[in-house]
Structure 1
């Protein structure tokens, strides 16, 4: 049986005129400009050698209790079950290909090893086949408007598949009781006056559609008891700061910089209530970054305020891009500054194949994620939130922190950064012909010198011979 939970976040101040019709077997809502989340859970075919899979697509910066922030684009994590009987690398990848090729094409050599899982990242690849499969699974009745930016979180774990979609809702929503599906629908708004950032109070109504129709309910009549009033608290693991930053690339030949500029309206002194909220104990500032294989970071050439904590991926400083199969590398830094100010991250570009038209290779990378990681009191309340996304695998930077950590994110544009790498521009055939001519001329010159030396040697022996005879 499929279990689905649909949450609608009313960003207004009242539910008036939102509920259009409520019956025992259906619910109709007017949800223009609301936010929402669909969570779908169902049993899945078990794998022998795959322990966990997580596919995340991130393109939308949500609000309040639905807020989360990951690297923009596609993130895929796959954890092998190393203790499975008969485990082998070949059989594991065969199982991975069998699953992923239905949705996403990832070459076997494109993964990198990260912590305890394989990791693949692409800033532009859209998982359209996976979205189509999910839409088909839930009967194309999504709460989320998939024509606008949205987030996807797909998890396989313990023979169970869990999918979350969140973003803007469609303008009209209708939920109906269906065979083979249990559906819970919640309509909430943030209770003003008593909600704070670390303790959000939600007020609203909830309806549950069981698999079988309620024999006592009459479809033709409105049922006021069908909707249950609900009030509960949410402790969010990921939280927003009012301060924002912008990222841009500073060109510098083969050694560009990522430059981060922070708003000066809200000074760090205001944040150094660095107990941002009542439940916070202590905080540190971090920077998380995914780099495509066209660029890398030399940890020995970092400024003193960037302390590398995590590095995964191919960091061979000598290899050109076309000699690397993996997608790139990931980094986590602690930013050590007495007061937060603008700073730079130095990059190194890898050598490219020639570009015969422009002499430049154009690349993209996601902007760095800048955040505070903070220890909190009573972390068990974080796990109790039905909207908490933390699990053992995936989540970019989340998996490098303990379970009692909350994250405070700066606002940002979340755009992909563009940078260029100088390349050879001349034609290959011209270079090849010049090379052959140079090699040919060099070979002829060497042969000429060898023949000349040999001729001189023979001539010398001929002149000495008569004198030796007279002696």
Structure 2
């Protein structure tokens, strides 16, 4: 097992290394204002047998969970995803072990609507670039209670209070990543907590385990595509004092000064419109070609009609430029309760307004609108005939072309397999717009059949059918009684026989 704990600070919050207390098995200080990232790497022999069997049948498995509560980021940990549980999966070839994946996910994360990768997952365009897994799955998930309970029982000893405490702290994390691939043959868990003032006390309670603690702050980089970090590193159990460090690396993800909001126009109806409010149309850099995008992760109850968004006049009227990707296939008619696929994802390029040829951008806020469509939801037993639908915020970012010589994999904080990065070239930099608001979930109400009132519809329908049957029978009887064709024909036949 290898452990890496990184505290990231703003330059004005930098800590004096003299305030750090380093012992043979711990490092501590009283107050530290910083964001925190924990990364733990497990070997195959350290994993539960049931989890080992799932990973052995996987070529790569990437799980991303993001909290529905808004949070602040800090460079270089600025990449974002829509809130909820994301899974990107590629099975081993000629291996039938993929049927173990969904039962394992339910055991770790709770009651997920996952039947099997063949039925519930959607495919990704892996033929374009190597940054994408083969399939994708998503489900809204507010908390990691089930993951914490599983980790405490399967990954920690009952007497190891440090391990139990660190697993429990995942309940307060803003994002958690779980990564596995056949090249590394290791499972890595990475958790992020946003900046706050905290008491630092980290112990290494496991023998023969490397625990590295870094306290770093952002420095001014030499190149626009780079990030620089400086501070102190300590290997707990080996170092007697922190060691100063300063390093730079090309970064795939960068922050921006702009923000965005996401809300639905009212009334929503069965064809709601998602409105994105952007604080500025100014690109993050004018030295490179950049385009603004929104990546939507839509549960199965709501979808985008790709045929509607193929109309260029409609796109222009909504401040949209093009739709670059929509999950296929997307059934435009099926109700939500008849589907097994998790939903769909959409990549839309936005069209920022410009103030003229000399300045092709404006600092004024502007909006873009994305038309969506609802599916019929399962009937409920509510008296209102309305059902709430929770739709996660999209991710909004500028995609800019990096220099040919940039090599992002050397970044120790690199983050890939986010769903949208595989839709761009490997030399793309992403400048993320942070969302506004306290929560990253929009809730709308959808009209559904009320089961408490449907009995009147059923009785009324049965009554109308019965009345219609009686009316048809009465009409047939009237015709027969007035003109009994059968009896007249028999009488004529008898008279002919007598003659």
Name the residue aligned to 2:335.
Answer: 320
Verify: 1:4 aligned to 2:32, yes or no. no
> What is the rounded CA distance, in whole Å, between the counterparts of 2:275 and 2:102 in structure 1?
38
- Residue 199 of structure 2 corresponds to 171
User: What whole-Å deviation, never above 9, does each CA across 1:110-141 have from its counterpart, x for those lacking one?
Assistant: 33333352322122343333244456457236
The SS at the match of 1:383 is helix
Q: Contact conserved, 1:27 with 1:176, CA < 8 A, in 2?
A: no
Does structure 1 residue 187 correspond to structure 2 residue 215? yes
Q: 1:144 to 1:382 in 2, by over 3 A?
A: farther
Distance 1:249 1:283 in 2: 27
Q: Distance between the aligned counterparts of 1:427 and 1:289, measured in 2? A: 36
| Aligned position for 1:114 | 124
- 1:259-315 Cα distance to aligned partner (Å, 9 max, x none): 11122xx4x3x437433xxxxx32122221011111111112123234222222552
Residue 417 in structure 1 maps to residue 442 in structure 2: yes
Are 1:100 and 2:105 matched, yes or no? yes
Query: Contact (CA 8 Å) 1:314, 1:326: kept in 2 or not?
Result: no
Q: How does 1:253-402 map to 2 (within 5 A)?
A: 253-263=269-279, 266=280, 268=281, 270-271=282-283, 273-275=285-287, 281-302=288-309, 303-304=314-315, 305-312=320-327, 315-337=330-352, 339=354, 341-355=366-380, 356-378=382-404, 380-390=406-416, 394-402=417-425
Q: Which moved more, 1:432-441 or 1:44-53?
A: 44-53
Aligned with 2:108: secondary structure?
coil
Q: 1:156 to 1:189 in 2, by over 3 A?
A: same
CA distance in 2, matches of 1:379, 1:6: 30
Q: Which moved more, 1:414-423 or 1:331-340?
A: 331-340
Mapped to 2, the partners of 1:16 and 1:144 lie a distance apart of 29
Distance 1:462 1:178 in 2: 105
Deviation at 1:446, TM superposition (A): 2.2
For the 8 Å contact 2:151–2:167, the answer to whether it is kept is no
Find the counterpart in structure 1 of residue 28 from structure 2: 28
TM-score, normalization by structure 2: 0.79
Counterpart position of 1:65: 76
Report the CA distance between 1:37 and its aligned residue.
0.8
**Deviation, structure 1 residue 412:** 1.0
The 8 Å contact of residues 143 and 173 in structure 1, kept in 2 or not, is answered as: no
User: By how many angstroms is 1:61 displaced?
Assistant: 4.0
Report the Cα offset of residue 66 of structure 1: 1.9
Report the Cα offset of residue 142 of structure 1.
3.6
How far 1:427 moved relative to its partner? 1.6
- Whole-Å separation in 2 of the counterparts to 1:162 and 1:72: 21
In structure 2, the residue matched to 1:39 is 39
CA displacement 1:302-357 (0-9 Å, x = unmatched): 23234222222552111111211222111112224554741111111112334451
TM-score (norm 1): 0.84
SS in 1 for 2:76: helix
Q: 1:54 aligns with which of 59, 62, 66?
A: 62
Q: Distance in 1 between matches of 2:148 and 2:180?
A: 15
Determine if the alignment matches structure 1 residue 151 to structure 2 residue 175: yes
> Is the 1:51–1:81 Cα contact (8 Å) retained in structure 2?
yes
SS of residue matched to 1:66: coil
Match of 2:257 in 1: 242
Question: 1:358 deviation in Å?
Answer: 0.9
Change (3 A) 1:369 1:185: same
Q: Contact 1:58 / 1:74 at 8 angstroms: preserved in 2?
A: yes
Whole-angstrom distance in 1 between the partners of 2:461 and 2:210: 71
SS of residue in 1 equivalent to 2:107: coil
Shift in CA distance, 119/308, structure 1 to aligned 2, threshold 3 Å: same
Cα displacement (A) at 1:452: 3.3
Change in Cα spacing, 1:336 to 1:190, as seen in structure 2 (3 Å) is closer
Structure 1, 197-206 or 286-295: larger mean CA deviation: 197-206
Other-structure match for 1:405: 428
Q: Which runs of 5+ in 2 are unaligned?
A: 45-51, 127-133, 157-161, 355-360
Q: Give 1:453's aligned residue.
A: 479
Deviation at 1:464, TM superposition (A): 5.9
Q: Distance in 2 between matches of 1:145 and 1:353?
A: 36
1:123-134 superposed matches below 5 A: 123-134=140-151
For 2:130, the equivalent position in structure 1 comes to none
Gap runs ≥5 in structure 1: 218-222, 276-280
